[in-house]
Structures are given as structure tokens and as C-alpha cells.
């Protein structure tokens, strides 16, 4: 059976308007900010499996990973590398659970994909059918662990994750690109093998651009292209968007 020519095929007999719309549809990709936001939310699942049985996490590990995901999700909305951040300039950079609730879907992800109204999943028809979304532990309204108390009585800052540190860097971009750049360097020191190295570089390159260090930004972008040839960010960086 021959497949029909696709609407967007130049030799199809589809009206020009339809060809134009469907061609545009194939070029509709998320922006750099949207990708970075998603990547920072997904940071925990980018972590390599801790054991020799990849992706077969223990129950405790699943809970920990999903909990981390939920926390990460709550932190990162509307990532914006444009000139105008979505956060008020006088707002604190440090996210706390009370500032931004996690998305509803993160608090209560759906039952297993394909589940019926009773919540029972039918037998999968294929490999692709054997999917289910996990039960997600709703985040506590309080921090997961109480901050340690320093000898001088000041509360120590809980260990900050790679995603949280980079989120601070991202937030600083609009108002203080020098600080954003410094935070990416801090991230490089603390997480030399971090799974969000691409996001770190994207933020650093943007910070350099904003600081007027365009030559450095270009060099770093070229290095990025060499190190991450398959990166989802490549297209955006290649355009040299100011």
C-alpha cells in the first residue's frame, strides 16, 4: 500500500496554505528557556543509576528520586533567558516551598497510563503499552530536613542541589549576570560531573553575552557545540542569538 504524499511535501496536491501550515508545524520546537526549564526539573532522573541494575530502583530510591523531582518541579517555572525575567527584581533568589507550589500534576500524577476508572491497568498490548506514571509523594509543606544549627546559632543552609544552584544562576541572569556567571563557576566546582552541565553552559554563555563579553561567549558556545554535538540546545546556540 503506497503512502500518500504528506501535505508538506512540495509535490503534494495540498493547497499552499495547508502545505505552509504543516511545514511550520514540523518546525515548532520548544525554545531554549523551555528546554532548560524542563531539564532542570528533570535533573534527578538524569542521574546515572547507582547500582549495576540500571533503572530498577528500590522503593526507597524511587521515592527519593520522585520526591526530588517534585521539589525540582516546584522550583522551576518559566525559565527565561530573555532580557526580562519573570521574577520581580527585588524578590529573593532562594526558592522556598512556600513561594511556589508545585504544579498540580506533580502533586498528583495520574494513575497508571491506560488505567481504567478503577485504577487497574489492563494488560499491556505491547512494550509501549507497559507504561505507568509513578505515584508521587506530595511535597511536605515544611523543608524535608531541618537546617543544621551552626555554633553561632545561625541556621546552616541545607545542601543545595545542582538544579537549585543553577536555578539561582538563571534567576540572577537578568539583574546580575556577573553573579549568574559566578554561580555557574561555583556549580562547576561543586558538581564537576554534574548531569546539568549543558544547562550550566547555556546560562554561562548567556551571562557572558549580557556582560558584553561576546568573544568569550562565542568561544564557549563553540566549545559547547564540540562537547555536546547532539544537544537539544545546539540549534539555538548556533544561531548566535544575542
Partner 1 sequence: MREVFDEHASYIWRTFRHLGVPEADVEDLVQEVFVVVHRKLGEFEGRSSLKTWLYGICLRVASDHRRRAHVRNERAQADPAEHLAAAGELQPDVRAETRAQLQALLATLDEDKRTVLVLYELEGLTMKEVAETIGCPLQTAYSRLHAARERVLAALSASRERGRVP
| In the complex, minimum distance from the CB of residue 41 to partner 1, in angstroms, rounded to a whole number | 6
| In the complex, minimum distance from the CB of residue 192 to partner 1, in angstroms, rounded to a whole number | 16
What is the phi-psi region of residue 105: left when phi exceeds 0, alpha when psi lies from -120 to 50, beta otherwise? alpha
Between 120 and 150, name the residue whose CB sits nearer to partner 1: 120
Q: Is residue 166 at the binding interface for partner 1, with CB under 8 A as the rule? A: no
DSSP state letters, 159-208:
PPPHHHHHHHHHHHHHH-HHHHHHHHHHHHHH-TT-TTHHHHHHHHHHHH
Stretch that binds partner 1, among 20-28, 86-94, 138-146, 200-208 (CB under 8 A): 20-28
Return the C-alpha cell found at 224: 559547547
Q: Is residue 227 at the binding interface for partner 1, with CB under 8 A as the rule? A: no
Instruction: Give which of 109, 31, 44 is closest to 71, Cα–Cα.
Output: 44
Q: Is residue 30 at the binding interface for partner 1, with CB under 8 A as the rule? A: yes
Coil/strand/helix, residue 28: coil
Interface with partner 1 in residues 174-213 (CB under 8 A): 195, 198
Q: Is residue 228 at the binding interface for partner 1, with CB under 8 A as the rule? A: yes
**Cell 544547562, located at residue:** 199
Among 67, 100, 175, 231, which residue interacts with partner 1 (rule: CB under 8 A)? 231
Q: Is residue 230 at the binding interface for partner 1, with CB under 8 A as the rule? A: yes
Among 130, 148, 154, 155, which residue interacts with partner 1 (rule: CB under 8 A)? 130
**Cell 539555538, located at residue:** 236
Q: Is residue 19 at the binding interface for partner 1, with CB under 8 A as the rule? A: no
What is the phi-psi region of residue 104: left when phi exceeds 0, alpha when psi lies from -120 to 50, beta otherwise? alpha
Question: Each residue of 62-84: b (16+ CB within 10 Å) or e?
Answer: eeeebbbbbbbbbbbeebbbeee
Stretch that binds partner 1, among 100-108, 148-156, 183-191, 218-226 (CB under 8 A): 100-108
Where does this chain bind partner 1 (CB under 8 A)?
Answer: 1, 3-4, 6-8, 14-15, 17-18, 20-22, 24-26, 28-30, 34-35, 37-39, 41-42, 45-46, 53-57, 62, 65-66, 69, 73, 103, 105-106, 109-111, 113-115, 125-134, 195, 198, 228, 230-232
Amino acid at each position: 500500500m503506497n503512502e500518500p504524499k504528506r501535505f508538506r511535501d512540495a509535490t503534494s496536491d495540498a493547497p499552499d496554505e495547508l502545505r505552509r501550515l504543516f511545514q511550520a508545524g514540523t518546525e515548532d520546537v520548544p525554545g531554549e528557556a523551555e528546554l532548560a526549564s524542563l531539564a532542570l526539573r528533570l535533573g534527578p532522573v538524569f542521574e546515572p543509576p547507582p547500582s549495576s541494575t540500571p533503572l530498577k530502583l528500590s522503593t526507597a530510591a524511587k521515592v527519593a528520586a520522585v520526591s526530588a523531582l517534585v521539589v525540582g518541579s516546584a522550583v522551576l517555572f518559566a525559565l527565561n533567558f530573555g532580557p526580562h525575567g519573570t521574577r520581580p527584581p527585588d524578590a529573593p533568589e532562594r526558592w522556598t516551598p512556600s513561594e511556589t507550589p508545585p504544579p498540580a500534576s506533580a502533586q498528583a500524577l495520574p494513575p497508571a497510563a491506560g488505567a481504567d476508572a478503577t485504577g487497574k491497568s489492563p494488560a499491556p498490548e505491547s512494550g509501549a503499552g507497559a507504561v505507568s506514571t509513578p505515584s508521587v509523594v506530595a511535597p511536605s509543606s515544611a523543608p524535608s530536613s531541618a537546617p543544621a544549627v551552626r555554633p553561632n546559632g545561625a541556621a546552616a543552609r541545607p545542601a543545595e542541589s545542582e538544579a537549585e544552584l543553577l536555578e539561582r544562576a538563571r534567576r540572577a541572569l537578568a539583574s546580575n549576570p556577573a553573579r549568574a556567571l559566578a554561580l555557574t563557576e561555583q556549580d562547576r566546582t561543586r558538581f564537576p560531573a554534574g548531569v546539568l552541565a549543558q544547562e550550566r553552559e547555556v546560562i554561562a554563555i548567556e551571562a557572558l553575552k549580557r556582560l558584553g563579553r561576546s568573544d568569550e561567549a562565542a568561544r564557549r558556545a563553540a566549545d559547547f557545540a564540540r562537547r555536546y554535538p547532539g544537544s537539544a540546545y545546539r540549534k539555538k546556540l548556533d544561531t548566535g542569538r544575542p
